[in-house]
Every structure is written in C-alpha cells, then in structure tokens.
Amino acid sequence: MLSWLQRLFGEATHPIIGSLSSVDLGAVVGLMLAALALNALAAWYIRRKTRHMSSADGATSLRLRALAALGKPIYVLIWICGIYVASLALLMKLASGTTLHTLQAALDTSLQLAVFAVLFWCIYRLTRVLDQVLASWAARTGSMVDSLIAGLLGRSLRVVVPVLGVILALPILNLPAQYDAVLTKGTTILFIVAVAVMLFQAVSVSERAVYARYDIAAADNLRARKIYTQVHVIGKTMHIVVGVFAVASILMLFDAVRHIGTSLLASAGVLGIVAGIAAQKPLGNLFAGVQIALTQPMRQDDVVIVEGEWGRIEEITLSYVVVHIWDDRRLVVPLTYFIEKPFQNWTRTSAGLLGSVFVWVDYSFPVEEGRKFLEQVIEASPLWDRRFWNLAVTDATERTMQLRILATAADSSKSWDLRCDIREKFIAFIQRTYPQSLPVVRLDTSAHPAGADAGAKTP
C-alpha cells in the first residue's frame, strides 16, 4: 500500500509540461474553481439582497441600488484575483531569475491597472445610481428645473469620472521619463475636452430650463416666442464661443502652432485682410444673429411675409432662418436679410389680426340688409375673437360699388379661415336673396325719340 502511494505521488509530481506537474495543474484548476465558487456565492448574495429592491424605503433602496451596481465589478474583481494567483503560480514554475522578475513585474502592473479600472468602473456605476436618486428627487419636487439640474449633474459625473480615471492611472504604468511631456499634454487636452463637454451640457440645460418656464404652444405666446428667440441665438453663440476657446486652448499647448500663429499675425497682414474679407459674410450673419436676438424684428414662430411668401419662422440659426411656408415648403433666408431688407411681421406685437374681404356688387344692393346678415354670420362664428367687425362701401365705379368687410381674429390662421367663411356665405346670400344685385353690364339699345332733334332745324 505504501509503495503504491509513493508511486502515485511520484507520478503526480513528475513534470508533464515543461516543469509543470499534474499537481501544479491541479492547483491552478483548483484556484479557478475557487474563483468560480466565490463568484457564484457573491452573485447569490447580491441577488438575494436586491430581490425586493423596488419595494424598499428610501435609505434601504439606495443601499440596495448601490449593492446592485457593485455586482458586476465585484464579479470581475474576483476573476482578476483568481487569474493573478493562478498566473503567478504558473510563473513560479515556468520561469526563474531575471525572466521571472520581469514577468512578475509585468503581471503586478497588469493587476494594478485591472484593479484600478475596476475601481473606477465601480465609481462610474455608482454615479448612475446617484443620477437615479437625483432623478427620483426631481420627480418628487415636480420641478422641470430640478429635473434638468439633476440630469446635468449626472452627465457631468459620467464625463469627469472616466477622465480622472485615465489621468490617475497613468502613474501606474511607470513609463520612461521621455514620455512625460507627451503624457502631460495628453492629459491636459483630455481635461480641456472634458471641461468643454461639461460647458456644452450646461448651456443646453440652461436653454431647456428657460424653455420649461414658457409655453410656446399657448394661444398668447408673444413673450414665449421672444424668450425662445433670444435663448436660442445666445445658446448657439455660447456653443461657438466654448468650442473656439477649447480649440484655441488645445492649440496653445503646442509650441509649433503658437510660433506659426505668431509669425502669421506679425508678417502676413495682407493675408489677414484677405481672410477678413472672406469671413465678412459669416461674421455678418453672426453679428446679425446677435442683433436679431437683441432687437427681435422677428421671433421663433412669428408669422411673416418674406419674398411674397406667407409662413412661420420655424428655425433660427447663426447663419440662416428657415421659414415654413403654408404649403409645407421651406424658405431658407440668410440672417442678414432680416436686417437689410423689409419684410412683413404679422405677429410683431400680438397675434391678433384684422382681416378684410372685398366684394363688388351692383348699386341696387341694399347695404343695410347685407350688414344685418353679416352680423349674424360673424357673431355666430367661433373664429371671430369678439373684438371688431364692420361693413362699409369703400369704392364706387360707373358700374359697381365695392364693399369692404372687416373682422378680427386671434391669429393669422383663424383670420384666413374667417375671411374665407365670410366671403363664401356673403356671396351665397347675394345669390340667394338679391341675385339682381350681382355685378352686371347694362346696354341701352333704345332709339332716339322722333323729332328729338327737330328743334335743331332752321325755319
């Protein structure tokens, strides 16, 4: 029996792959199985704890959410430690001397980077939990501004955490000193980009926060359209300013670019003049956009007549304005057009309009009867805003007289529909009640009376 055991263990310790024996391979397999068992135990515990997460109270729910967020990083960390221990055991058998020291140092660095990455992954997932908590808080307050601020904080954290992770992970690599300048510029560029992204998000959130306080779909939306136009143009300008400063800050990190820029500014004055002339139109549109935002000759959703086309201001950018024409065409007009050329703005001070209808009738038409009929039609129409209406004779020719009907409406669309309704019903009234009063052409064919010119004869 003793000899059999000695023979069995002797065979188990006999090398089968290099210096690895069956016992060594079994130890590695055992370590991996232990990692698998520990992983399964951690998964069971987390699932058990978070099973009733949705029904828990505030503080308990927050802890359970954090535990659920840490689940996947914990699983990965267990596997990393298991793989590290197994790899280290293999290295101790397969290598020795300088080779062992070099491989072990590389393995240790890999472990540090992996653990560091998992740590920041945990922090990143916890920021999502914090984002959910802030969203729940904003939902309880019922404030749109709170919701936007909570979203901004969450998105900012998701930008900052990865950037800080990259910056803090670089010292672990122990790169040679000749790479210090490159790493410094790289981390600075990364930081500048992160700050620019956060500023872009802050501008966008500020725009939405202002928009949330004004309803542009309301009936009386004059102030809302004014604020929308100002905020939209100023927001676009801020995006350009932030982008320009970010790009300029990055370029200033490189000496070669700074020297080239300085030499161009110092010795290429003609080139600067040419560039200024070439940029005249874009800069003109930019300044026109700022002027429109301040003076507001037209605003978002204003009803305008541009180039003989009726439409609404659909979009205002820093270079052009899109007018949504009534037949669903889009008229794209440069911003400078609204500064340099006249155009009609039907909603400059209010959306209400005074619409007019012209009808030509015969002199025999009873105007007072037509006025009574119009009173019934207009006052019964839901399109009339109850402000004013009138019927008057505004012109007369040798054949007909012109009737002008005026009626007010809340906006241009209702005014158009009201005018069409009045025109149709008033013409039908004339056809039905006074058909003889429709415009006619009279021709007198009677002969001159006999002896009419007898007096002209001399005796």
pLDDT, tens digit (0-9, with 9 covering 90-100), for 371-401: 999 999 999 999 999 899 999 999 998 889 9
Q: Is residue 455 part of a domain?
A: no
Q: Is residue 420 part of a domain?
A: yes
Supply the range of the domain harboring residue 343: 214-351
In this structure, are 219 and 204 located in the same domain? no
Q: Is residue 186 part of a domain?
A: no
In this structure, are 322 and 265 located in the same domain? yes
> Last residue of some domain: 294, 321, 351?
351
The helix/strand/coil state of 165 is: helix
Residue 265 carries which side chain, given as an amino acid letter?
Answer: L
358 vs 35, higher pLDDT: 358
Mean pLDDT, the chain, rounded, equals 75
| Cα torsion angle, 96, 101, 105, 108, sign | positive
In this structure, are 347 and 245 located in the same domain? yes
- Return the closest-CA partner of residue 315 out of 305, 323, 307: 323
Question: For residue 86, what are the CA distances in angstroms to 34, 122, 440?
Answer: 11, 24, 108
DSSP string for residues in 201-223? HHHHHHHHHHHHT--TTSSS-HH
- Return the closest-CA partner of residue 93 out of 161, 34, 26: 26
The helix/strand/coil state of 107 is: helix
In this structure, are 36 and 169 located in the same domain? yes
| Cα torsion angle, 144, 150, 154, 157, sign | positive
Residue-level pLDDT at 121: 79
In this structure, are 301 and 401 located in the same domain? no
Predicted model pTM: 0.45
- Bridge partner list, 356: 406
In this structure, are 412 and 377 located in the same domain? yes
Give me the CATH number covering residue 382: 3.30.70.100
Q: Domain tally for the chain?
A: 3
> Last residue of some domain: 351, 381, 414?
351
In this structure, are 301 and 387 located in the same domain? no
Q: Is the pLDDT of residue 265 over 50?
A: no
Q: Quick: pLDDT tens for 163-200.
A: 776 676 666 666 666 666 777 777 788 888 888 888 88
In this structure, are 305 and 405 located in the same domain? no
In this structure, are 346 and 362 located in the same domain? no
Q: Is residue 111 part of a domain?
A: yes
> Last residue of some domain: 329, 351, 373?
351
Residue 359's pLDDT band (cuts 50, 70, 90): very high
Q: Quick: pLDDT tens for 295-305.
A: 778 888 888 99
Q: What would the two tokens of residue 286 be?
A: 């930019």
In this structure, are 338 and 362 located in the same domain? no
Q: Is the pLDDT of residue 17 over 70?
A: no
Q: Is the pLDDT of residue 57 over 60?
A: no
In this structure, are 145 and 134 located in the same domain? yes
Helices (H), 142-221: 144-173, 180-212
Residue-level pLDDT at 266: 47
Q: Is the pLDDT of residue 277 over 60?
A: no
CB contact burial 6-24 (16+ within 10 A = b; e otherwise): eeeeeeeeeeeeeebbeeb
- Identify the weakest region by mean pLDDT among 102-106, 210-214, 358-362: 210-214
In this structure, are 37 and 88 located in the same domain? yes
